Amino acid sequence: MIENIEQVHEFTQGFTEAVNKRFPELQLKFILHHRGQRNDAIEMARSHLDLHPAGSIAMNILRKTKSTQKSGFHGLAIETQMKWFGFKKIRSSIGVITINVDDYGTSEAILADVYHYGCHAIMAAELLDTPKYRSSAIRGPMVPKRSPLSMAKANLTADIFSVFILCEQEHDVFITSLAAERALDTMLAKANSRPWHYPYPLSYETVREVWIKVLNQKDPEFDPIKTPLKTAKAINDSFEQISFSQWWAFCKPAQEMAWNGALPEHILTAALLTSQDPLVKTNAMLLQDCLDVALLGETEIEGHFNAFLDEDQKKENHFKKIEDTFEMVLAKGIAQESARPFMEAANAQNVRLMQGGVFGWCASALQAAGKAFETALSGGKDPRQFAEIEFKSIKKNSQYDKLQLLQKEIFDKRKIGENVTIDDVKAIIQESGLHPEVTASLEQTVNDPEFQKELTKGLAPKAVPAAGPSGPAPIKPDIAPQVAPMAIPSAPGLGGGTTQTTTEAPSEKNDKEDDTKKTG
């Protein structure tokens, strides 16, 4: 609960008036609301919007986004009036922004997004004075739709602008804490979060130097809105396109590892020790410094999924994981004189499979080997030999490429916040052309009496023993204070996510600049 919400309203109103004074044709409209009360807050704002020439258009923008409770800049509402008997055109616009205050931990965190989204509105309004839009954008909604490169640049400018405004208000800790938040987001699995769109960590050292050594609020030419905006744009322009490609080159494998369950320190270690891309290593070093997190030892990342390796190495590690898992489960079964370790390992793998984790998946082979192991034990024969023969026989059906497609389909659903059921997984398995034994393996896990008991008790299935040395789980870095919303998604996005549909970082093939487009 935000304790000082009145101060948030006060600062937001002050910011709105300051922007309107410097950009007379733009009126920012912030609608602050609690979760579940967005539409009520919009209706309460109607009387204020009705006073503006573009008020009805702004209401239409808000109604079209009524299904979301996310904070965001939803677009510009534009109207042009004719004055002086039609000889003069006066264009005005409203920047439509909603803020869900329940998504934030502090009032300063709310203000960080108020200024961030406000900057997006200013940049959109500035486009109206460009030749492309001066005569065409007369009336209607302008909803930002940007290419990956344009999106990254716009968010970088907005983040820097927001930080400078907060620094003016004596919150200069946000220079580094926002960088830490954005850095950490690249290595966390969050639904509807697109951290590749927020490259602020690339700039935070420059921002700190500029704030300390360049910007001077006592300078008579210093303007509390235009100076931060101009400086933010200048810092943004200092980055070449390769800097954004460098950011994406780290984000894509980092996110893949995060969705596979890796912790940030594991991801950073893998990037620094195993990536062959110097740009990725550069980013990893930057983020490690930003987060001040200790790296793991080389042996601590062995036997785990590593997205920073090339495809051949990833495939080789996948099959090595299968062999190592079988050997350890077999040793455990022999020590216990029981086939139960095979079932437990298969169950744990299938639980991960339903979440999209396919690295080292061999559950069907483990189940078959477990049955052979049990049969041999009951018949007084050597269980090792029988288990090995059965395991190798079933393992031949391992379809690595199709497992990767299965993983992508499941992750894509989870990344947009969908719950993935076992029926969903079965459907994806069928569509991907995977061997029917994968579905049969899942059903065997679901029907396992011991597994059902664990579900009834609310216990998670026992994990498959990790290949290589084991140790305590790495401690998640303690990042404070948070400046982005605490609830998912943690990073602000144009239009509350309505124009961002990609679920993974872009590549250089689709990073061309693209201006905001007028729609509707």
> Measured in Å, how far apart are the chain's first and last C-alpha atoms?
37
The pLDDT of residue 381: 92
Overall average pLDDT of the 211-237 stretch: 93
CA dihedral 195, 197, 201, 206 (to 10 degrees): -170
CA dist 381 and 368 (Å) reads 17
Can you tell me which residue has the tokens 């590690």? 317
The pLDDT of residue 191: 93
Q: Which of 145, 148, 152, 165 is nearest to 75 (CA)?
A: 145
Taking 50 as the threshold, does the pLDDT of residue 471 lie above it?
no
Helix, strand, coil percentages (3-state) for the chain, rounded to 5, are 60, 5, 35
The pLDDT of residue 479: 32
Give 142-179 pLDDT, tens digit per residue: 987 889 999 999 999 999 999 999 999 999 999 999 99
Taking 80 as the threshold, does the pLDDT of residue 24 lie above it?
yes
Strands 88-100, 26-33: parallel, antiparallel or unpaired by DSSP? Answer: parallel
Whether 93 and 125 have beta carbons less than 8 Å apart is answered as: yes
Which residues, other chains included, contact 505 with Cβ-Cβ below 8 Å and sequence gap of 6+? 196, 248, 251, 252, 255
User: What is the rounded average pLDDT for all residues in the chain?
Assistant: 87
Whether 160 and 200 have beta carbons less than 8 Å apart is answered as: yes
Overall average pLDDT of the 220-228 stretch: 94
Q: Output the 3-class SS for 382-399.
A: CHHHHHHHHHHHHHCCCC
Taking 70 as the threshold, does the pLDDT of residue 501 lie above it?
no
The pLDDT of residue 65: 83
What is residue 415's three-state secondary structure? helix
Burial (CB < 10 A; 0-12, 13-18, 19+), residue 414, is middle
Whether 54 and 78 have beta carbons less than 8 Å apart is answered as: yes
Taking 80 as the threshold, does the pLDDT of residue 60 lie above it?
yes
Helices (H), 292-448: 311-336, 340-355, 363-378, 383-395, 400-415, 422-432, 436-447
CA dist 461 and 451 (Å) reads 7
The pLDDT of residue 4: 73
Residue 362 vs residue 485, higher pLDDT: 362
Rg (alpha carbons) of the chain, rounded to whole number: 27
Task: Locate 252 and state its tokens.
Answer: 């894509």
Whether 384 and 342 have beta carbons less than 8 Å apart is answered as: no
> For the whole model, what pTM was predicted?
0.86
